[in-house]
Amino acid sequence: MNTSIETGATAGLAGGIVSGVLLQLARMTTPDGVRAPAMRLVAGAVHTASVPLAWLAYLVYAALIGAAFGWLLARQRVGGGSGVVWGALYGGFWWIVSGLVVIPGLHAVGPLTPAAVDLVRPASLPWFAAMLVDGAVLGGVYTVIRRRPPSGFAGVVDAGC
């Protein structure tokens, strides 16, 4: 049986794959004036020009925030629709935290500063969309996995007694 944290990490990977594709397809203008995939923001944050390494870092990030989501919801009953809504809200929260604290910190830029805003501004719209999609998929997949009966479960027959 998966714990809520493991389920969250798994759902986070699902959300990371979907939102990563969005970041790969969306374009941003770099400080050099070049149009590049928004995934380049992730590559810059982990100090690489390698797209596969950027993807790996992004999927680790998605699994970690998914695990945290699972931890937060461990004692909650979440339905399908509310899981998606809570996930999207959680993604919006991570858009703010990652855009103003995490990514600037990885670039050695002070968090919550005008320089931090300038750093993420070129990719802020695709990043916002990706974080909302990531959260919504995370919440939906988390709910589906948590509602699935345990393996070997044949169902309970109510005899009406």
**Average pLDDT rounded to a whole number, residues 30-41:** 83
Express the helix, strand and coil content of the chain in percent, nearest 5 each.
Answer: 70, 5, 25
Beta bridge partners of 37: 27
Burial 104-121 (b: 16+ CB within 10 A, else e): bebbebeeeeeebeebbe
The H or E element containing residue 29 is strand 27-29
Q: What is the pLDDT of residues 84-137, one digit of tens each?
A: 999 999 999 999 999 899 989 988 999 999 998 988 888 888 899 999 999 999
**Average pLDDT rounded to a whole number, residues 7-22:** 96
What is the pTM assigned to this prediction?
A: 0.84
**Average pLDDT rounded to a whole number, residues 47-69:** 95
Q: What separation in angstroms does the CA of 70 have from each of 6, 10, 36, 118?
A: 7, 10, 33, 32
> In which band, very low, low, confident or very high, does the pLDDT at 63 lie, cut at 50, 70 and 90?
very high
